[in-house]
Amino acid sequence: MDKPSLKASDSFWIRAKKRFNRKPVRNCLKTLFALVLLIMAVHIGWIANYILFNRENMPDINILLKLELSVVGTIYDENGKTIANLSNEFRWMVRPEEIPPIVEQAFLSAEDKSFYYHNGISWRDIGRAVWINGGHIFDRLLSDRSIDLTPTQGASTLDQQLVRLVYLKDKTSAEDSEQLLYDNYFTRLALIIPILSDIPDINKGWRKIEEARLALWVNEEFTKPDNFGSRQRAKEEILARYLSLANFRYAYGVKAAARFYFDKDLSNFDFNDTDKAAFLAGVIKNPTLYAPRINQEADDTSVIGLRQINRRNAVLDLMVKNRYLSREDAVKFKEKKIPIPTRDMRNTTDAPTVVGETLQEIRRNNLGVGHLFNGDVMIHTTVDLDIQKIAQEACENGLDQYEKRRPEHRAQTQCSAIVLRNGDAAILAEVGGRKFYQGREYRYSDLNRVNRMRQIGSSFKPFVYLTAFMNGWEPDSKIVDSPFPISMGYGRGYHWINNYDRKFLGEITLCEALYRSRNVPTVRLTMALGNGSFEESGMKKVIDTARMLGVKSPFHSDTDHLGRTVYYPTSALGASEMTLLELTNAYREIASGISVEPFIVQRVIGRNGEDVFEKPYTGKPSAIDPGALAMVRHCLRKVVTQPGGTAYSLTASNFSVPVMGKTGTTDDFRNALFIGSTYGLNGITVGTEINFDDNAELGDSETGARTALPIFKEIMGEIYELNLALSPPEFPK
């Protein structure tokens, strides 16, 4: 019978078998295999000894024991409410007692279920990882004859992840992106050989060995009597430090992440927040993949959206497996939506004017803005957030009323407002501009128009009349309201002064001239305070009064033919510029009789609770005669209460808060103001202003009474209606 023919491949295996059966070859292979096993055993023993017993060249344990990170610095209002959280990294440290059980259970289920039972490394997890990853390598070797050392199962404990973040962070990059030093079979095999310890730390295999050694060492150090003593307390501290360092994409640390994604304090999480805890625990595996983007579609069914939901649900399943959660409850929590952050709350605020003013004051006091952004200090301001919201809303409402009359100017006009406490000039609210829209989000303009120089119009007139009262005039003194020309300086001719209504009342009292805001009597009075000439018009005396009331802005001046500095009498009508803040503070001093600079920073507290700065009270009695102050207050009160007063519409509308104040309107209606106060040390002063950034005209008849007064009315009225200030006393008769 013919023998069956052999295929070429069969012939190869037969020849190979014959060669292997030769005794010298077989013995050589056995010897080589035994040598490989011996080398591996020696290496494994060396690695075990290195991890378990080698404590040479260890880093400083105090770095972890006294962990100090760049955290969030907070600006608070006077009642302890948060105005803004500022940081280089949006992070809060969390203490063990602040971690609710449900949060701890979610993270342990997702990352390290045996955390409290091992001493830094989990031998069970290592064995499981070796078995699973070894099977993966063997499968790839059989399927496509390639060696793939990419792990499919991890074994890192939370302790190992912590030491990686603290001690090895600068030496490694993200695990998924690490490459071996040389991509060949020899260097892949060399990963297990400790003698290659001098290879740069991009060697992931060597780093894993170092992680294990450091994790054991940290557990040993934390349980020492001089540190935390008990194993339980040491583990709690390790967990808290890890959860303070973990990256959640937009926030660092679980406490900041809870605030960012859910606007909720971590310590308030309970069983009803299990889905939230599972979400946070799922994110840290890969924040880029598992954390939703800002303004991501809430019903996102894309690969990205499903991946985030599936990761959260996987953590819930792990909580069921670890008996922290029933399967029925897990099903219920899986039905809840993933949180979608609608705004980036890092270094943002609804009151940027307040934040900007606070930062400026910190710089002026040499307290260091960097300390705030590192979380080294907390700032307590004088601002009342409730009053701040009232002022911001009042500005929006006032602008809305104006733009209904002038729709062609919609979204172009600007409002600024300031609220001061009379007794100490503390800033209770400050609005530097309107809010503007970006899609569905908004924030307030961070340009602080409260500190911008603008002409103030008739709101300057009280300085003139106060100067007259300081120089012997009285509210009932007479002044003539009739047209007259004044010299505008050597060789410049004359200018006829007119009133807003183009009418003249003849002889009237000084008080009536002020509350009716008559231009002609005001300029006459300014001239009378001097010798009646352009060179000596009395404006210098008025400026001195303004300086006594804290005004620092320059006044328009000129040089005459003899080289002397002279001031235009028309400056009495508010032609010069000043800021809304200094003007409002001057009215505050008139109302209270106390001279003091406005301020916003009340107290600065260090990270450990120590006092870094506390604002001393610097108020002192006004340098202006109290009798003169009383007379000008009397006349400014009539601006509101007397028919014909420019703000009489307040009384006519049954406004019940007793206030004094003055309107202001500049030429061509480019700026509209109202400044007003309640009486005494416990009162408040409110300044409001509407204009365009480019100094365009607001339009005919857009006076301070029509445009700015409604904003003042809303602010002042709501403050007292909501009892945010002490009940205002009546002005003395």
Q: How confident is the model over 73-100, as pLDDT tens digits?
A: 899 999 999 998 888 888 889 999 999 9
pLDDT in tens, 356-366: 899 999 999 88
What mean pLDDT is reported for the chain? 85
Contacts of 253 (CB under 8 A, 6+ apart): 71, 91, 92, 93, 94, 243, 244, 245, 246
Residue 124 pLDDT more than 90?
no
Q: Tell me the C-alpha distance between 342 and 297, whole Å.
A: 10
According to the model, what pLDDT value does residue 370 have? 84
Q: Name the percent of the chain lying above pLDDT 70.
A: 82
Nearest to 391 by CA among 685, 704, 706: 685
pLDDT in tens, 609-647: 899 999 999 999 999 999 999 999 999 999 999 999 999
Q: Tell me the C-alpha distance between 251 and 497, whole Å.
A: 63
* Residue 146: pLDDT band with limits 50, 70, 90: low
* Residue 188: pLDDT band with limits 50, 70, 90: very low
pLDDT in tens, 516-570: 999 999 999 999 998 776 556 789 999 999 999 999 999 887 776 667 777 877 7
Residue 9 pLDDT more than 80?
no
According to the model, what pLDDT value does residue 305 have? 78
According to the model, what pLDDT value does residue 20 have? 52
Q: Which of 1-10, 159-168, 392-401 shows the lowest per-residue confidence on average (mean pLDDT)? A: 1-10
* Residue labelled with tokens 């999480």: 269
Side-by-side strand order, sheet with 611-614: 82-86, 73-76, 377-381, 601-606, 611-614
* Residue 174: pLDDT band with limits 50, 70, 90: very low
For residue 582, CA distances in Å to 7, 15, 119, 622, 684 come to 103, 103, 64, 15, 15
What would the mean pLDDT of 674-701 be, rounded to a whole number?
95
Backbone angles phi, psi at 349, to 5 degrees: -160, 160
According to the model, what pLDDT value does residue 378 have? 93
Contacts of 185 (CB under 8 A, 6+ apart): 147
* Residue 398: pLDDT band with limits 50, 70, 90: very high
Count of beta carbons in the 10 Å neighbourhood of residue 44 = 12
* Residue 411: pLDDT band with limits 50, 70, 90: confident
DSSP track, 180-211:
-SS-SHHHHHHTT-GGGGGS-TT-HHHHHHHH
Q: Are 669 and 413 in contact (CB under 8 A)?
A: no
* Residue 196: pLDDT band with limits 50, 70, 90: very low
What DSSP designation does 96 have? G
Nearest to 150 by CA among 161, 136, 164, 171: 136
Nearest to 429 by CA among 215, 283, 598, 575: 598
Answer with the residue of higher pLDDT: 247 or 293. 247
Residue 1 pLDDT more than 50?
no
pLDDT in tens, 350-390: 888 999 899 999 999 888 888 888 888 999 999 999 999 99
